[in-house]
Structures are given as C-alpha cells and as structure tokens.
Structure 1
Amino acid sequence: MKITRIWADTSGESHYSDLDIPLMDSGPLGAMSEPLSVQSLILRENPSGYDYGWHTAPREQYIVMLEGTVEITVSDGEMRTFGPGAIVLVTDTTGKGHASRSPDGKPRKSLFLPV
C-alpha cells in the first residue's frame, strides 16, 4: 500500500517521498501490513477555507484523510493534493516545514495518529 511521507533533510528543506508499505496475504481477510506503532488517535475537523501557511509538524504523525481535500506544499516547492483515503506520514518537525490549505474552500475531516 502506498503512502506519502513529508520529511526534512539536514539543511531543513522539506520534501515528499512515496513509501510502499508491504501487505501480506491474510486469506479471507484480504491483505494486511505488519502492525505499525502509534501512540493515540486524534480526530480533527478543519474549517472551510483554512490556510495554515508555513509550519512544521507538531510531532511525527500519520494523517488519514476522511473527508474533503488538503493541498500541501513542501519547502522545496513541490505541491500535492490529498483527498479521502490518502495517508500522509508527516515527519518534518524541524526546518522550513510545509504549508497546508483548503484548495476548494470546503472543510476537511481527518485522523491524526502520532507515532
């Protein structure tokens, strides 16, 4: 299963990379990954038209998109848009960070899973 990671290099520049989480056949249950460690579950709803500008992640965490879309630009200039079902692992807790905003003016619902 593919997920996206946002990370910072040693000079503080944030980048995207794509990760492939291996899934193993679990018979009639489908395919599953090995367990991934998380600390807690945070439910979040962003208001319509949100624009958070440049910031670093408050902690390393998975973000699972449930509803709405988010446009995230990393400091190296690359921008990606994520919608329902997308999983983003945010690890740029230092450096220049990333900017996130609503590309369509609508609210967003997501799960945050700190690691």
Structure 2
Amino acid sequence: MRIHNIYVDDKGETHFRDIEVEWKQEGRGGKTSATFPATGIIFRETPGTYDYEWHPAPRRQYIINLDGGVSIQASDGETRIIGAGEVLLVEDTSGKGHFSKAVEGKMRHSIFVPIE
C-alpha cells in the first residue's frame, strides 16, 4: 500500500516521495500495519471549483480521499493527482508549500487525520 508524501527540504522546496506501508500482522481478516499516532479526525467537503494557490500545510496530517481526486503540485514542478481511496501525508508546513485544485470540476469528500 502506497502513501503519497509531500515534504519540504532545507531550502524550502517541496517534493513528493512514496511511502510503503509496512505490514506487522497478517491473518484471516487481512494485513494490518502498526498503530500510527493521531490527534483527531476532520471531515471535509471541497467544492468542484476548488483552486487553492501556493500554501503550506496547516499541520502534519494524512488526507484520505473518499470519492474524488485532487491535483497537487509541489514547488519542484511535480504534479500528482491523488485519487479516490488514496492517502496523502502532507508535511510541508513551511517553505513554498503546494498548489492544489479540484479534478474535473468534481466535489470531493475527504478525511484529515492530524498527527501533531
């Protein structure tokens, strides 16, 4: 299982990398990871007109897209579309941040899981 990760380097530039979830247990019900710390859960509805210029993340958090995608551009120029069912770990709380916008004008429901 892949998690998209956007992070900031020591020069303030943002980049993407992939994190692979490490499985700790496997049984009849499937595989599970270790427990990750979290401080809450936030539900979000984003309109299809969403177009948010350069900004850093407000906190380190996982974003889990439920039914729509979002286009995210890092300051190094890489753009990824994070689709429905995908997970993004945002860690660019300083620096140039990222640019995000709706995909195909569709509304998106997502869950934010703050980790600080």
TM-score normalised over the length of structure 2: 0.96
Unaligned residue ranges in structure 2 (runs of 5+): none
Mapping 1:68-107, distance limit 5 Å: 68-107=68-107
Whole-Å Cα distance in 1 between the matches of residues 13 and 2 of structure 2?
Answer: 23
Whole-Å Cα distance in 1 between the matches of residues 91 and 7 of structure 2?
Answer: 5
> Displacement of 1:68 after TM fit?
1.1
Cα RMSD (Å)? 0.8
1:49–1:104 contact (8 Å) kept in structure 2 = no
Q: Percentage identity across aligned positions? A: 45
Whole-Å Cα distance in 2 between the matches of residues 4 and 103 of structure 1?
Answer: 17
> Displacement of 1:73 after TM fit?
0.2
For 1:15, the aligned partner's letter is H
1:27 is aligned to 27
For 2:108, the aligned partner's letter is R
Whole-Å Cα distance in 2 between the matches of residues 66 and 43 of structure 1?
Answer: 10
After superposition, give the CA deviation of every residue in 1:16-43 in whole Å (9 maximum; x if it has no partner). Answer: 0000111134311210000011100000
Whole-Å Cα distance in 2 between the matches of residues 106 and 32 of structure 1?
Answer: 32
Whole-Å Cα distance in 2 between the matches of residues 41 and 25 of structure 1?
Answer: 25
2:57 is aligned to 57
2:42 is aligned to 42
How many aligned positions are there? 115
Whole-Å Cα distance in 1 between the matches of residues 41 and 100 of structure 2?
Answer: 21
